[in-house]
C-alpha cells in the first residue's frame, strides 16, 4: 500500500502572505488527517518564506500519522530535526535561494557527508530518506550511505507524461527495482498530480509513500480539500 503524505508548504505560503494566522496551519494539518491523509510533510527553508521553523515544533503534537520533514541538512536544519524527532527526515540538496527542489543528490560525490548526517539521524531513531534522480549510479550510491529509503525526484516523469510520453516511467521503474534489490524503501515526489499518480503508482514496484503538495493544494481550490485527498487515496489503492 502506498501512503499519501500531504506537503502543507503552500498553506504556510498563503498564511504568510497576509502576516497573520489564516489559514491556520495546525487546523489544516488536523483536517488533512481527518480526511484520510496518511502523513504530513513540511519543507522549511532558511528564509522561512513558507514553513517557519517554529511550525515544525508546533506540528509535532498535531501529527498523529507520519511526520516527514524535508530539507537541506545544514546545521540549523539538522538541529531542528533532532529536536523535533519526526517519523522521517528527507534530505534534499536545495540551494539556499531555490524556489523549489530541482535536483537529487549526487550520492557518489556526497557519500561521506551523507553517511555522517544519516548516521546521526538513525542514532536518534529517525527514519531517513534521500532525494535522488532516477539514475542507477545514484541509487547504488544511496545504498552505500546507510539511508533507509530514497525519494525519487519525479519532475521529469510528470513533464513528459503531460506530453503523452508514458515511456518516461521506465527509468523510475528500473531504479525502483534496483532499490528493492539493494534493500531500500521507495518514496516519490515532485509534480505528481491527480492526472499522473495512478499511472505512476501502477508502474513503480514497492512504492511506499508519495509526498504531494503544490498540485494537491491547487486542485483543492477547485474541488475541495477533503474530496481531493480521497481522490488521491482512491488512485493509490
User: Look-up: residue for cell 532499490?
Assistant: 179
CA distance 237 to 223: 20
Q: 7: exposed, middle or buried (C-beta count within 10 Å: 0-12, 13-18, 19+)?
A: buried
User: Look-up: residue for cell 518516461?
Assistant: 168
Of 44, 90, 41, 91, the closest CA to residue 65 belongs to 41
Given the residues 38, 70, 209, 219, the one annotated as active site:
70
**Phi-psi domain of 191 (left: phi exceeds 0; alpha: psi -120 through 50; beta: other):** left
CA distance 67 to 40: 5
Given the residues 38, 43, 66, 209, the one annotated as active site:
43
Given the residues 50, 190, 209, 219, the one annotated as active site:
190
DSSP 235: H
Q: Verify whether residue 43 is a known catalytic residue.
A: yes
Q: Verify whether residue 190 is a known catalytic residue.
A: yes
CA distance 230 to 6: 12
The catalytic site residues sit at 43, 70, 190
Amino acid at each position: 500500500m502506498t501512503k499519501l503524505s500531504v506537503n502543507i508548504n503552500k498553506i504556510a505560503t498563503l498564511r504568510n502572505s497576509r502576516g497573520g494566522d489564516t489559514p491556520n496551519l495546525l487546523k489544516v494539518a488536523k483536517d488533512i488527517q481527518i480526511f484520510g491523509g496518511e502523513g504530513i510533510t513540511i519543507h522549511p527553508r532558511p528564509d522561512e518564506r513558507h514553513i517557519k521553523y517554529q511550525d515544525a515544533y508546533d506540528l509535532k503534537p498535531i501529527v498523529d500519522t507520519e511526520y516527514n520533514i524535508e530539507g537541506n541538512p545544514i546545521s540549523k536544519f539538522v538541529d531542528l530535526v533532532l529536536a523535533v524527532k519526526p517519523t522521517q527526515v528527507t534530505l534534499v540538496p536545495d540551494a539556499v535561494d531555490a524556489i523549489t527542489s530541482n535536483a537529487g543528490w549526487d550520492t557518489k560525490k556526497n557519500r561521506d557527508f551523507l553517511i555522517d548526517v544519516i548516521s546521526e539521524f538513525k542514532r536518534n531513531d529517525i527514519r531517513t530518506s534521500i532525494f535522488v534522480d532516477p539514475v542507477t549510479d545514484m541509487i547504488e550510491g544511496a545504498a552505500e550511505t546507510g539511508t533507509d529509503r530514497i525519494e525519487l525526484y519525479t519532475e521529469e516523469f510528470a513533464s513528459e507524461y503531460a506530453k503523452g510520453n508514458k515511456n518516461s516511467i521506465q527509468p523510475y521503474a528500473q531504479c525502483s527495482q534496483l532499490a528493492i534489490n539493494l534493500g531500500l524503501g521507495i518514496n516519490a515526489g515532485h509534480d505528481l498530480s491527480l492526472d499522473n499518480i495512478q499511472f505512476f503508482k501502477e508502474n513503480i514496484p514497492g512504492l511506499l509513500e508519495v509526498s504531494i503538495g503544490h498540485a494537491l493544494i491547487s486542485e483543492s481550490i477547485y474541488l475541495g480539500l477533503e474530496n481531493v485527498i480521497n481522490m488521491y487515496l482512491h488512485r493509490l489503492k
